[in-house]
A and B are shown apart, each in its own frame.
Chain A
Amino acid sequence: MGIIGGALFTLLTLMVGAALTFFLERTLTPAVGAAQSLKLSKDLQLAHADRWMYPAGPVSALFGVTVAAAVLPFGPSLIGADLGIGAFYFIVVVDFVVLGVALGGWGAGTRDAVEGFYRITAQLVSYVVPLGLAYVGALMMAASLSTTQIVQAQRDVWFIVLQPLGFILYLVTGLMQAYRAPFYEPFSEHLGGGMLSVIGDWKALALRIAMAGLLFVVSAMGAVLYLGGWLGPWLPPPVWMLLKTFALMALMLWLGRRFQPLSTAQMLSLAWRILIPTGLLNVLIVGGLILAGVGPQ
């Protein structure tokens, strides 16, 4: 697909994915944290909103998920843009989403929203290294950063079979990245919803799409990394990809609801004391497997 085709495909992916995610979440889980529905009609006139940063937040978040959806492969050549560095690019552009919610938090200027900004940044600090380590196992076996190559490398056996520890790590860090239970502290009732309680109008719509889209792209990337992407016997590849994405999303949401919501301090502690050593152990194990000849050649 050329540039225009790729761009349109990316937008289609995002819209379909975000819409399906929104409805799936609403039926499966109670709406807390980042999944809560926003009042689109009411836009509070905030007395101390930063007039540039506050609207920039949801725009940046929506931008982040849209360009992230460009590297999700739905078939052997059905991808928005097959970048040679697809997986790394994905991690980087999802940072734009974090930037977006952070700007929205600060920009709103209310006490709760600014506190949300602090906790969002702390959550970024906590999830980013374990997330990288969760990717690294799959990248080592695939010997490439390109998402289509990663899927092709799972032709014989999916990586979830070879790297279960990495998969569990991806579940946890994916939830942390997507601000869903049990990691939704910056948007929780402790902070009165943070920025979500004051945002309205087009900003709320953009943010809601971005939050739904974020869960979708994180789950889709998990399906690419660990569940073999579009590979599968009878159904067409895009259907497999969507099935795997939503299965992984349901698993993440279900598992997340089993646990008490964590405070930001607990998230930091969890990430730096448990998840990073787990990730390093995973890298060690995967390295051993590769040396032993297991996995794609």
Chain B
Amino acid sequence: MQWLAFGLFTLLTVLGALGMSTTMSMFRSGIFLMASFIGVAGLFILLSADLIGLLQIMMYIGGMLVMILFMLLFSMDPGGAMMAGMKMSSIERLFSRGLKPQREDEDGGHSGQNEMNEEGDSDEQKLHDHATVQHSGMKMGGGHDHHAMQNSDDRSGQSEQDQPHHGDMAGMNMGDANEAHNRHDHAAMNHANTDHGADGQKNQEQSGEHDQMHHSGMDHGDMDDMEMGGMDMSMVTPARPWAAYLGLAVSVVLVGLLLWRPAWPIYNGPFSTDAPREIGTLLMGKYMMAFEGAGMLILLGIFGAVMLQRPGSHPSDQGRKAYVTSEENPVRISEDES
């Protein structure tokens, strides 16, 4: 019975890791990672470390969900729609089943899980926002910034009732995070038209990706170009065979250790299943300084994060009002399309 449970959890762990590395959808990749860690949590529970097992599950469900959320905000093809129509190896295809490939004839609003096309007509804005976030100096982003900067200049002397309108226009950004980034970039561009060097370098790295984004967002008919003459566009890097061989080597070593059973030194203390009590005693006794120090570091991190997101103090900065929408209920998304 224990072997059966062990086998199941191990299978879950390994298959989750395999799925994570081979699937074409980034969202699924995050979920597979979550599943893999839940398998590990099962192994912890088999070792009677139930508290650690549950801690593992708690951290990884919450953590992976939030990680996936931020990944969706910044990535190009999180649903795998663009990659789903391309040639992949069979294991990649196995873990990418059920993803709808993006069709060429479909319009912006109807193309699969593609993040850019998710919001229909506002995908232009979305691209602009991504551009603004990532490349402050790029022309498209610059264009959008000019547009919005003009708006903000117009608005500087206007009444409150125009504020919701501005909020609505900017409300095409999905989520407050994007708005925050947008406004910060306005602020950055307003009083720091510098760092073109740094931006230039970023542009260099990401211009390929940006071109692809531009490409796929603007011109769906050109999907054919990506599959030039059957070239394999699956996500294979030159390092992947090395990674596979390394994994295989480590597995061989581990299984060898399992079979050979060397005499590890084993801690001879009393075995207690009341894990919270043990951990609590240790944290409040022997490791009190480390515990309090770690808590202090986390607190400093929180203060730092709050400080970092404060609006700037430059005169032309619109301040919190410009990007905090907590006073109004969000507009229904479909009404954003004009």
The interface stretch among B54-62, B214-222, B239-247 is B54-62
Whether A50 lies near B27 (C-beta < 8 A) is yes
Interfacial chain A residues near B79, Cβ < 8 Å = 48, 50, 109
A-B residue pair count with CB separations less than 8 angstroms: 112
B28 within 8 Å of A (CB atoms):
yes
Residue-wise interface mask of B (35-66) relative to A, using a CB-CB cutoff of 8 A (1 in contact, 0 not) = 00000000000000011001001100110011
In chain A, positions 231-265 with a C-beta closer than 8 Å to chain B are 261, 263-265
Could you say which residues of chain A place their CB within 8 Å of the CB of B253? none
Establish whether residues A102 and B65, one from each chain, have CB atoms under 8 Å apart when the complex forms.
Answer: yes
Interface size class of A (residues with CB under 8 A): 35 or more
Q: Does B283 contact A (CB under 8 A)?
A: no
Q: How far is the CB of A195 from chain B (nearest CB, A)?
A: 13
**Contact in complex: B25, A50 (CB < 8 Å):** yes
Are the CB atoms of B334 and A192 closer together than 8 Å?
Answer: yes
B104 at the interface (CB under 8 A from A): no
For window 18-51 of A, CB contacts with B under 8 Å fall at 47-51
Instruction: Report the stretch among A72-80, A112-120, A199-207 that lies at the interface.
Output: A112-120
B276 touches A53 (CB 8 A): no
A271 part of interface (Cβ distance < 8 Å): no
Q: List B contacts of A84 (CB < 8 A).
A: 50, 273-276
* Cβ-neighbour of A83 out of B50, B326, B333 (below 8 A): B50
Q: Are A85 and B27 in contact (CB under 8 A)?
A: no
Determine whether B97 belongs to the interface, using a CB cutoff of 8 Å to chain A: yes
Among B110, B276, B324, chain A packs the most CB atoms within 10 A around the CB of: B276
Collect the chain A residues with CB atoms within 8 Å of residue B28's CB: 50, 52-53
Q: Is the pair A266, B174 in contact by a Cβ cutoff of 8 Å?
A: no
- On whether A191 and B276 interact (CB within 8 A), knowing A53-B27, A265-B176, the answer reads no
Which of chain B's residues have a CB closer than 8 A to the CB of A145? 276
User: What separation, in Å, do the CA atoms of A84 and B274 have in the docked complex?
Assistant: 7
Cα A261 to Cα B329 in complex, Å, equals 9
Within 8 A of B (CB), among A75-127: 83-85, 88-89, 91-92, 95-96, 98-99, 102-103, 106, 109, 111-112, 114-115, 117-118, 121-122, 124-125
In the complex, chain A residues 115-154 whose Cβ is within 8 Å of any chain B Cβ = 115, 117-118, 121-122, 124-125, 128, 145
> A112 is contacted by which of B112, B113, B333 (Cβ under 8 Å)?
B333
Residues of chain B within 8 A (CB-CB) of A190 are: 329-332
| Residue B119 interfacial (CB < 8 Å) | yes
Q: B325–A265 contact, CB under 8 A? A: yes
- Chain B residues 299 to 318 lying within 8 A of chain A, measured CB to CB, are none
Q: Are B65 and A50 in contact (CB under 8 A)?
A: no
> Which of A173-213 touch B at CB < 8 Å?
189-192
User: Which residues from chain A contact B334 at a C-beta distance below 8 Å?
Assistant: 111-112, 192
Q: How many residues of chain B are within 8 Å of chain A by beta carbon?
A: 46
A47: chain B residues at CB < 8 Å are: 100, 110
B120 CB–A CB distance under 8 Å = yes
Smallest distance from the beta carbon of B185 to chain A beta carbons, Å? 20
Q: Give the residues from 254 to 284 in chain B that come closer than 8 angstroms, CB to CB, to chain A.
A: 273-276
Inter-chain contact A48/B324, CB cutoff 8 Å: no
Tell me which residues across on chain B come within 8 A of A118, comparing CB atoms: 69, 72, 174-175
Residue B330 contacts which of A95, A124, A125, A263 (CB distance < 8 angstroms)? Answer: A263
**Min CB–CB distance B59 → chain A (angstroms):** 9
The residue that B50 contacts in the complex, of A85, A124, A191, with Cβ under 8 A, is: A85
A-B contact pairs, 29 of them (CB 8 A): A47-B110, A48-B100, A50-B25, A53-B27, A53-B31, A84-B50, A84-B274, A84-B276, A88-B276, A89-B54, A96-B61, A98-B65, A99-B65, A109-B113, A111-B119, A111-B120, A111-B333, A111-B334, A112-B334, A114-B118, A118-B72, A121-B65, A122-B69, A125-B66, A191-B332, A263-B326, A263-B328, A265-B325, A265-B330
Question: 3 closest pairs, A vs B, by CB?
Answer: A51-B98, A265-B326, A92-B58
Where the two chains meet, the residues of B that have a C-beta atom closer than 8 Å to any C-beta of A are 25, 27-28, 31, 34, 50-51, 54, 57-58, 61-62, 65-66, 68-69, 72, 79, 81, 97-100, 110, 112-113, 118-120, 174-176, 273-276, 324-326, 328-334
A92-B61, A95-B58, A111-B118 given; 14 more Cβ-contact pairs under 8 Å:
A48-B79, A50-B25, A50-B79, A53-B27, A53-B28, A83-B50, A85-B51, A85-B275, A92-B57, A99-B34, A118-B174, A190-B331, A191-B332, A265-B324
